[in-house]
Structure 1
């Protein structure tokens, strides 16, 4: 199966699961409060449905337009814009006849289910897989900046030890990327000195210029030869796979990142290359190309070897079932907090973060191109949290818009008129369409021009 097909299948499976559970979050409390639900749909049924069946008073169906789903609750102004029934006297089974607190629970049901689902997934993953991570303070000689331009923008150099972002200690290597995106200041240790630097407000825009370089940091690794290219001038000098380069022209190197500046000094020249093989140090005469390369492809040592050399530590934390519950809750809260910080930056034009807003293609690309259940569930949990937060925003046509008007009613004792709610729903609908066009337009722009 092609990688694209795998991504598409995962995308629709995840989206369908999240939509159905979200709508069940509205459906179940509505039924508990004896409110009539006229429709329950996965995807939108504009003009026609792929499938529909009436059971009791509710029509269950699948639409053809995969932009979401909905439950049509009697006596409620929603995305269906069915205002004819609103002209009649309220019926006891209608949404508008129910007490405000019941209507509030019905409207909050969808986002509540989305967040609870994410937490349940994280609990299950903690119990099944545990956590595997590299403690940031275990990197013996700091980080490797693989793109100097981005590193310079962030104020980070190869060899720096990243201590904290916004004053909070960076615990793991993998967390540093999202912390940098969300952060405003960074504390590093360089040559024994602790330095604090401001992260430029447009740092995110710099990352988005080339999304392949978003992970511009790595842990430092030795220079191990994986393969000598057939086109290399050094093809027949005696270099072998798994040889470790320890010196170039007599200058010692410990890490791969140290090789490039030394090779630049000797480009176009012949030098002695020191390598370590089977605990022996050997020297071979090699030719440095005019582009400062050796004509070899590097290999990267497994974590076990890096650990045995003291370069880093790889820690695995296992959880009992009871321990996995708080761990899953903490993970859900951390992800939600991180997403809120990102959203704040998106709404600040000076950050340039709005350029990274994506639509369906961006969401689809979050899934791996090979089937991996751990990655599938992790991505589904993340999307579930995003849907929960986006839906609770106080925008008419979203759950948060309805909640906003209900809270106003509960505080003031006055219910907004049906005509006002109708106009608000229309305004919210057009805002959502504009956001949808912008997000998917970004996807198209990136596909065509980047």
Structure 2
């Protein structure tokens, strides 16, 4: 069922982005009286799942879910319609239109992607607002369990301050900032220290053990009892679910890591722990096992629940529509700049970032296993901005490649020949297929060998 929910969200998001992107080409083409022969969601090699001709355009759904397209008459694109291009240009064809009109038609899809991403982020800010843990509110520092964080020299209680001299605003962004950064500063026992991030940090992040998956550092959270198994050696004690441990043998200990250390120091002994239950503090005798455990499972608390317990002050912003506009714009810009930084690292082999490149499986995995409209629209906005930027890359077969050739024509007054454009389209298509195979091959490798 979880796979079905993830797949449904992925297909819905992908379909929405494809249709709107292609609509960005379709509308200006129609406005400039350019004939659009096909408008397709997915590719229709050999046959279509559905098709219907309305006016001069065939609308359809293909069977290969790798994208979509509009076939504009007189344009050298993925259809490689050489027969049409061999005939004299017609007034309604793309190649007969002025360069500025062709430029607008080609930029239409990218324009829609960026506008859609910004619009979704604005509406999310207006509808849901923002709730997050400000990094500066971790007054007792971070909890370090991850092997990579340990390799960086970080310890529990450290306070991460900046990455590349930029103050970290949200605690949840630390891992992403490390991915994009080159150096960081942190505070330990009142001393400010600086360290360089290894050039292959991303490679090490990807190659971590499975039990280290997730953010490289976490918040220090309380030890609240989630359940007491029947086989627990403390099943007959006075402990109850939702008890919050605050002392161990008279020693104040409010964080799980502190309590865990004190249990290990007292393994095999009978001790007294103090728990907070409702508004009371109760002293309860318990037995510590030889492994340093009390035989209970801690509660899996959400950050909002930890905040309600008084451990952290969470920031909670609710925006009016006018306030949501700059907030949504800022989030869109942050999303774009972060993505560009990551893309630069992918093209630098020494970073090992290429190992993290993923295909459709990786994209599908980022959707939650339970349906959440907030998560769905957040991911869709991110993908829209990502696709907008990717399509702007100056690669033949992408919108950016066509834009480069058109700008060259506008600047020099010389239009590239049809044969040159055909060969460029083939080269671009081969590059894209190679990238697609590599990305999805990475997915397959990680699924089989990791």
TM-score bracket, normalised by the shorter chain, equals over 0.9
2:53 counterpart residue number: 54
Output the CA distance in 2 between the equivalents of 1:154 and 1:115. 37
Output the CA distance in 1 between the equivalents of 2:178 and 2:60. 44
Which of 188, 201, 225 does residue 186 from structure 2 map onto? Answer: 188
1:298 counterpart residue number: 298
- Give structure 1 stretches of 5+ with no counterpart: none
Alignment of 1:338-353 (within 5 A): 338-353=338-353
Cα pair distance change 1:325/1:58, threshold 3 Å? same
Cα pair distance change 1:374/1:285, threshold 3 Å? closer
Cα pair distance change 1:308/1:24, threshold 3 Å? closer
2:355 counterpart residue number: 355
2:164 counterpart residue number: 166
Cα pair distance change 1:16/1:339, threshold 3 Å? same
* Deviation at residue 251 of structure 1 after TM alignment: 4.8
Cα pair distance change 1:303/1:394, threshold 3 Å? closer
* Deviation at residue 29 of structure 1 after TM alignment: 0.8
Output the CA distance in 1 between the equivalents of 2:34 and 2:18. 21
Alignment of 1:72-221 (within 5 A): 72-147=71-146, 149-210=147-208, 213-221=213-221
Q: Deviations over 1:372-416 (max 9, x none)?
A: 111111111111111111111111111111111112222222111
TM-score when normalising by structure 2 = 0.94
Alignment of 1:438-449 (within 5 A): 438-449=438-449
Output the CA distance in 1 between the equivalents of 2:293 and 2:366. 34
1:28 maps to 2:27: yes
Q: Deviations over 1:166-217 (max 9, x none)?
A: 1111111122221121111111111111111111122222221246622132
Q: Deviations over 1:20-52 (max 9, x none)?
A: 000011111111111111111111010011111
Superposition RMSD in Å: 1.9
2:254 counterpart residue number: 254
* Deviation at residue 249 of structure 1 after TM alignment: 5.6
- Give structure 2 stretches of 5+ with no counterpart: none
* Deviation at residue 329 of structure 1 after TM alignment: 1.3
1:289 counterpart residue number: 290
| 8 Å contact from structure 2 (residues 221, 255) kept in 1 | yes
Alignment of 1:374-393 (within 5 A): 374-393=374-393
Output the CA distance in 1 between the equivalents of 2:352 and 2:153. 19
1:280 counterpart residue number: 281
Output the CA distance in 2 between the equivalents of 1:162 and 1:358. 29
Cα pair distance change 1:295/1:206, threshold 3 Å? farther
2:435 counterpart residue number: 435
| 8 Å contact from structure 1 (residues 248, 271) kept in 2 | no
Output the CA distance in 1 between the equivalents of 2:176 and 2:249. 40
* Deviation at residue 236 of structure 1 after TM alignment: 2.6
1:315 maps to 2:302: no
Output the CA distance in 2 between the equivalents of 1:434 and 1:153. 35
* Deviation at residue 241 of structure 1 after TM alignment: 2.1
1:54 partner SS: strand
1:186 partner SS: strand
| 8 Å contact from structure 2 (residues 43, 67) kept in 1 | yes
* Deviation at residue 130 of structure 1 after TM alignment: 0.8
TM-score when normalising by structure 1 = 0.94
1:224 maps to 2:209: no
| 8 Å contact from structure 1 (residues 221, 300) kept in 2 | no
Cα pair distance change 1:17/1:307, threshold 3 Å? closer
2:46 partner SS: strand
Output the CA distance in 1 between the equivalents of 2:302 and 2:446. 34
Cα pair distance change 1:342/1:39, threshold 3 Å? same
1:412 counterpart residue number: 412
Cα pair distance change 1:132/1:304, threshold 3 Å? closer
2:171 partner SS: coil
Cα pair distance change 1:65/1:309, threshold 3 Å? closer
2:364 counterpart residue number: 364
Cα pair distance change 1:34/1:321, threshold 3 Å? same
* Deviation at residue 78 of structure 1 after TM alignment: 0.3
Q: Deviations over 1:48-81 (max 9, x none)?
A: 1111111111111111111100011111110011
